[in-house]
Structures are given as structure tokens and as C-alpha cells.
Amino acid sequence: MKVLVTGHRGRIGVVIVEQLVTAGHTVVGFDRADGDDILDGNAVRGAIAGCDAVIHLASLLGGPKDDPDEIMRVGLQGAWHVLAGAEAARVQRVVYFSSVNALGVFMGLQPPRYLPIDDDHPPIPVSPYGVAKRLGEEMCRHFTEKTGIATICLRPPWVAPVEAYTWMRARLDKGGDAEWKPTWEYGAFCDVRDVAAAAALALTCPDPGHVTLLLCADDIASDTPSRQMAAKVHPDVPWRGGPAYEAEPFKALVDNARAKAVLGWRPLYGWGPHRRI
């Protein structure tokens, strides 16, 4: 399969490219590091021509130094260019990198409506980045309804590089509230290798139409059991965990079951080997 990967030189993109090449795919890259511009519709359409699929990563990260107008331009106009090019090229599917921030309950912005968080949690984004990602998902949905081309929207939390486990462990070892202040991200993370594997599987899984999929490691990055941590940080948020959290006390608070079912994906990397209990 010939695959266009936008943002292929980024931290996630390089790992995706490695896995795609290993799997026998041909990769076409499109990245601003090479002078490519996701806001140039003609350039995007030219890059997609002849491709069988697209993985769209190119985006600003929504950091404090990112201009909100530019976040929206790159996020929405860029997604539009990718989808328009995908329609013209009649690709088999588009894999769109969204984010847990499309739900609006990460980065300490507001509490979730319930825990654990799943893909049916109502999206209530309030940041420019979150709004752009959520609207990008909706663009994908309308695109699939119009064209019949599958759109798989991946919603990773913090994507952990291989070297991250060392400093994550050091942060927990500080004790006190170091792991959840100033904001608590539910102990959610996904190893970059698992994120790349999900993207690769999204190219070949049975056609799901349009779907949004939360990605997450199977366990919480904490030495404190998930239910206990949730009760400490969000005592007023309704708990829907059920008996699964008695059998697996460190089970992740972001439900990745839909990604597993749709993609045939299983995260291989978690916090368990680094936990001190």
C-alpha cells in the first residue's frame, strides 16, 4: 500500500514510518521540515495523488506559545485539504490523528462527566486545540457520509517516547501530589510504539466507516490504584468502573476497548514494569 503520511518527521511520525516500511508499505512524506505546507491545497492534493491511504498527523500541538488562529488554520484548513485530496485520489481510507483533547476534559480544563472516560463521553472542547480536533473529527464524519471512504480518527493521550519512563518514575518518586498537580491527566499515556501500531492497523482493519477511537496503555501511570486516585482528584465525578477495577486495580481510566475491537490492536507497553507497590 502506498501511504501519504503528513507530519512524517515529527516524534510520532518517524515511528509510524518505521513500522509502515517494516510492514512492506511505501511511504510518501509531507512535512514542513521539508518545506511542505499543509495550507497549500494544491501541494497536498499533489502529494496524495497515486496514494492508497493517508495518515494525517500534521498539526500544531496547542501549546501555550501557539497562536489560536494558527491552530485553527492548520487544524481545520489542513484537514480540509487532506480530505479534498483524498476524495480526488479515491484513496481507500484516511487515518486522522485527533486527540483526547477533543473531549475537553484533559489539561485540567474541566472534570469529565463520568469515569472511566470512553469514546461515548460527550465532546465538550473549550481550547482552540480541542475545538480544532473535534471539528476535524466531524469533517471526517461528513466526508465518509459523502464519499464512502473510511475515516478512522485516533484519540491518543500523551504519547510517551521510549525514554519517558525514567523521568515519569522520578516524578512519582517525589511523592505528595507531584503526579497530579497542577493538572491530572488521569495517569493516561500511550507508548509511541503502540500509537504507531494503531495507525498501521487502521490502514488494513475491516472497514469501520467513520469511527473515533481512544488510544491508551492498559494501565494507569501511577503507584496508586485507579479508583483511589479518581476518588481523590474527582470525588464528585460519577464512577462507572464496575468490578473490572477490582480485578485490575491499576486499569486505565481511559477505555481503549473500542480501538481494540475495531483495529485488532493491543498495547504492548504499560506502566506495570515500572510500578512500585
pLDDT band (50, 70, 90) for residue 151: very high
pLDDT value for 147 = 98
Q: What percent of the chain has pLDDT over 70?
A: 100
Q: Does domain 2-162+190-216+254-274 have CATH number 3.40.50.300?
A: no
Q: What backbone torsions phi and psi does residue 112 show, to the nearest 5 degrees? A: -70, 165
pLDDT digits (tens, 9 = 90+) for 228-251: 999 999 999 999 999 999 999 999
Element (H, E) at 6: strand 2-6
Q: Which positions ≥6 away from 41 have C-beta within 8 Å? A: 80, 81, 84, 85
Which of 223-232's residues contact partners 24+ apart within 8 Å by CB, and which partners? 223/172, 223/275, 223/276, 223/277, 224/179, 225/249, 225/250, 226/116, 226/187, 226/250, 226/251, 226/252, 226/253, 229/180, 229/184, 229/187, 229/253, 230/115, 230/186, 232/180
246, 197 in Cβ contact below 8 A?
no
154, 213 in Cβ contact below 8 A?
yes
Q: What backbone torsions phi and psi does residue 219 show, to the nearest 5 degrees? A: -130, 165
Domain residue spans in the chain?
A: 2-162+190-216+254-274
pLDDT digits (tens, 9 = 90+) for 49-77: 999 999 999 999 888 889 999 999 999 99
Mean pLDDT over the full length of the chain: 96
More confident residue, 180 or 215: 215
Using DSSP bridges, classify how beta strands 158-160 and 53-56 pair: parallel, antiparallel or unpaired: unpaired
98, 153 in Cβ contact below 8 A?
yes
Q: Minimal CA–CA distance to 140: which of 208, 70, 48?
A: 208
pLDDT digits (tens, 9 = 90+) for 107-119: 999 999 999 999 9
pLDDT value for 116 = 98
The letter for the amino acid at 83 is L
pLDDT digits (tens, 9 = 90+) for 169-214: 998 898 878 788 888 999 999 999 999 999 999 999 999 999 999 9
- Give CA–CA dist 53/109, Å, rounded: 34
pLDDT value for 193 = 98
pLDDT value for 65 = 86
The strand pairing partners of 6, in sequence order, are 30, 56
Whether the per-residue pLDDT at 277 is higher than 80: the answer is no
pLDDT digits (tens, 9 = 90+) for 129-144: 999 999 999 999 999 9
- Give CA–CA dist 165/154, Å, rounded: 23
